[in-house]
Structure 1
């Protein structure tokens, strides 16, 4: 059903996309999509840095599958489904639901901080017609405080207690925060370059254009996150991007570029989820064929089995 929503969005926008694609050089299309994929990879590393900073290490392929498959839930109205799917996928690998939820929320917070940092470079141009964007910067000092390792550890432990789980037995390290924030910044820079290459087919390139579009794309993600009732922030991000691109393009051209950009993100999300799921499946089959299926068992698998056996054993004792 989740994939159906994403595919439906692709089909419903195809006519507009096919017309807009004619305006863009083929080489720019390919390079632009590659940058979206690169941004998705950096975003995954940002998420994994937090997940592994909150507990025992989760293998990269497993963590990527939890995130990339789970985040397809954002295409269903009410982006909370993305968090629900991630928690359920995490549970299947023995990662406690609260830990996955805390990771998702903190990754969103890291993304907001990264987006506002990059967005600030383009803000002087954007606020001329969108002064309402200034209120977003109330979130920046709050986000920076919450990213302090001691504050992050305290908040994570508090959340775990609310879910009746033991608090963290260690403090989240500064390197966890640095790795996560650096990867998030790299992801947004990739997304800005992606949009720059699309617009590049219509205007002469310069560094100011790159800064403007990177900032607009970054702030657009935060606006889309705030508009959580819309599937994947559809409409909210586009409004910011169109507003910024009107400084460079005509309205029809700006709308065309945002439609193509959104299509590329949807395709990248579907491709990323498919590759992550397929990679885990291939690894499982290879290990099973080699007769070493136990090699892939982790403490999470053992923990999950122990938790599932506990109620049965208690019932037998009674």
Structure 2
């Protein structure tokens, strides 16, 4: 028997190298992510439970086809918002694809149900990191998307401005932000702002100016999203009155402004209560206050259902895609 023959069994019997033990920091981050996920799901579930009492009675009065179409409008609106965010992410670097973008945006957005909506942005950054994206890129894209969304909401909010000036005049200060927002949407200004954020984060600045197409598409998606949310509320409201284009314009503008005000009230889960106050104030100019309140509660429930269902679908689709791409053991 040769030396090689004797060494072969010894080599085969050698124990396989063991993976390096995980650091305490990595283990802590894993448990924190799990705890955050549980907290997010519990908060979203509580939002469903707490609204169910007053909502169930109102749902009975709404025709089933209006309910279905209204819920569909919410889903389409969230989809448009997700595509707008992905457009910005793709404009900052290598495109990430629709499935990955949906997983990061939709699952991360569930963090808004935890008091202090910063959790949504942190969750998106963490999901982006797991998908191979730098945290700074996800954070910068989210900031730009927020700015674009505010400008879009103020532009569309003009439709409800006459009513809002009489019902909630205290919100008119928001329009002081519109000229600033429009200037900030210029690609050179937007690129300078994004590079400044990256510099603060001690990251390299953008190596290219964001094109007009990226800014225009993201603004278009934001406007479409708010229009669809307005259609959603309008489909609910016409169940108690005649079909009216005026009410449709009012719903679109009120939803847009309400969501921006809810964004400012970030300490509340998903702007709960603040957005409803704006919607009730607007709708009560066309219907009794009790009905306006009921429809805003139904709207909140539909948004919660859509958020959870779409996040679950995106996560499930991403997991399925990962399992499909796994190599098969011989």
Scaled by the length of structure 2, what TM-score is found?
0.86
Q: Is the radius of gyration larger for structure 1 or structure 2?
A: 2
Q: Does 1:219 align with 2:257?
A: yes
- Taking a change above 3 Å as real, the CA distance of residues 163 and 262 of structure 1, as seen in their structure-2 partners, is same
Corresponding residue of 2:116:
78
Displacement of 1:99 after TM fit? 1.1
Q: Which runs of 5+ in 2 are unaligned?
A: 1-38
Does 2:54 align with 1:25? no
Alignment of 1:1-318 (within 5 A): 1-288=39-326
8 Å CA contact 2:198–2:205 kept in 1: the answer is yes
Q: Secondary structure at the match of 2:61?
A: coil
Q: Distance in 2 between matches of 1:44 and 1:38?
A: 10
State how far apart, in whole Å, the 1-side matches of 2:299 and 2:79 are.
Answer: 17
Cα displacement (A) at 1:161: 1.6
What is the Cα-based RMSD across aligned positions, in Å? Answer: 1.1
Question: Does the Cα contact within 8 Å between 2:144 and 2:194 map onto a contact in 1?
Answer: no
Unaligned runs of 5+ in 1: 292-318
Q: Report if the CA contact (8 A) 2:136-2:198 is conserved.
A: yes
Task: State how many pairs are aligned.
Answer: 291
Name the SS of the counterpart of 1:172 in structure 2. Answer: coil
Q: CA deviation at 1:134?
A: 1.0
Shift of 1:138: 1.0
Secondary structure in 1 aligned to 2:326?
helix
Q: Given the two structures, how large is their TM-score scaled by the length of structure 1?
A: 0.90
1:201 is displaced (CA, Å) by 0.2
Deviation for aligned residue 1:166 = 1.2
Q: Which runs of 4+ in 1 moved over 6 A?
A: none
